[in-house]
Amino acid sequence: MDIDISKFDRCKVLVVGDLMIDKYLWGSVDRISPEAPVQIVSVEREEYALGGSGNVVNNLAALCAEVFVVGVIGTGNDGKLLLEKFKEIGVDTRGVIQEPERLTTRKTRIIAENQHVLRIDRETKKEISKKTFQAIARFTEQIMPEIDVVLISDYGKGLVTKSMLSELVDCAKKHKKVTIADPKGLDFTKYTGVSMITPNKKEAALAKGIEIVNESTLFQAGTEILESVDIDRLLITCGKDGMVLFEQNKKPYKINAVARQVYDVSGAGDTVLAVLGLTIASGMSFKEGVSIANTAAGIVVGKVGTAIVTKKELVDSLKPAPDEVSKKYKLLSELGDLISEMKKQSKKLVLTNGCFDLLHAGHIMFFSASKQLGDVLIVALDDDDSVKRLKGRGRPVISAKERVHIISALDVVDYVVVFSTGELERLIEIIKPDVLTKGSNYTSQEVYGHKLVEKFGGRVELIPVSEDISSTRIIDNIKKNSAAG
């Protein structure tokens, strides 16, 4: 499936919902506390991310939409941090109201060795004040003519009440805008008048009191929700089993999930809401939107923590049967986010670099040995100008573009990047490899960048190589045989 990314850039989306800060403490565990039978987590780093409806906003901003936010926060440090993060991604926060007595919701997740150990919530669920309600109503009435779609992200923290929804839906209908809500709670009649709601399978089952154990009970629950709630459409998300779209007077439309390794499902519903809303805003059908949202959800569950889907990830995933080059080849500018994600997954990264001109059996053995030292092997290729400087006239024999194609075809290689002379240190700073490999024709001290690798806690590993096999030797033999002929 192909999508017109240029339309995403022109979409204006209003997000109404419960804003949160997600705090992540990443660490390691190597002992049990002597004070109680609990793990001791040695914190190595901490991160803050937009959570709740803020994660919907973050996904939309990453896909280049123009976003307007409506929500309520406190006046403390967490509230200030939320506003700073919104400013960083360029969203309109005129609809964000600060209540002095309100606590900004913060969820703190402690993750050790890629395992979610504990979550600590700091929040309030009290309804917003009458003054705040009126301020929000005025803003939504003012902004509604400008926007393309309204997304409602309900986390049950006191903003998305029946009266708020009624006001919002009436305003949206007056201006002929689609409204899509990610619901909370057992009473879906709260969302009467909304164009579409997107509960997960568990929420749908609880709302109708039906145990969903197969497709039949899933269809029964979906049909009953659609009949009992005044909505046009219902999307039930089913995790690894995909999604089902229910529409009035139509058969349920089921789409299977793309098989992926699941690391973390937190925030997947936010991604579905954001991408679905954006596709509808750009003029696609609901079926097209559901298919694309399903793909986006498959991407985000493969990441650790509250995550977003980038435009490139989405486009690449929607392309039919991407070849190995498009999957493995990365620009230097693309490595940062990729490496960050692999670090979160506690992947052990192995980096090797070189010309790798005229690939031969020695290179294959070298790559195989390198991959055995970690989980992910990244091969950095000298660009054509660098090879020429290093090897002299007539080199490279094979261009960087062709070398990328050849090396990407190897199963042991996970990613390939091309770099120029002078960029190796920057490459090491981005990747911070656990292991840097070189052939045994070097010494550890001769390996360029070894000090930087060791500074970041990595090591240099020398792989035994045969002196009888080299690109230069093969090329010299070809020249001799050609001259002799």
Among all residues, which ones are annotated catalytic?
Answer: 270
* Cβ pair 7, 93 in contact under 8 A: no
The arrangement of strands across the sheet holding 149-153 comes to 92-98, 66-73, 12-17, 149-153, 178-182, 196-197, 233-237, 243-247, 253-255
User: Distance between terminal CA atoms of the chain?
Assistant: 53
458 three-state secondary structure? coil
- By CB neighbour count within 10 A (0-12 exposed, 13-18 middle, 19+ buried), where does 282 fall? buried
Strand 115-122 relative to strand 105-112, pairing: antiparallel
**How large is the greatest C-alpha to C-alpha distance in the chain, in angstroms?**
94
Answer for the pair 332, 380: CB distance below 8 angstroms, yes or no. no
Neighbours of 150 (CB within 10 A): 28
Which tokens is 360 given?
């031969």
Cα 425 to the center of its chain, rounded Å: 27
Residue 105, Cβ density class (10 Å: 0-12 exposed, 13-18 middle, ≥19 buried) = buried
**Number of helices followed by number of strands (H, E) in the chain:** 18, 18
Nearest to 17 by CA among 238, 264, 205, 182: 182
282, two tokens = 């750009």
Q: Which two tokens stand for residue 204?
A: 């749908």
Residue 405 near residue 369 (C-beta atoms within 8 A): no
Residue from 17, 85, 7 nearest 278 by CA: 7
Handedness of CA 355, 360, 365, 367 (dihedral sign): positive
Instruction: Give the C-alpha separation, 195 to 45, whole Å.
Output: 42
Q: At what angle do helices 53-62 and 268-281 cross, to 10 degrees?
A: 50
Inter-residue contact 184 to 154 (CB < 8 Å): yes
Tokens at residue 173, please?
């209908």
Let me know: does 22 contact 50? Beta carbons within 8 Å: yes
The amino acid at 435: V
In the beta sheet, which residues pair with residue 46? Answer: 25
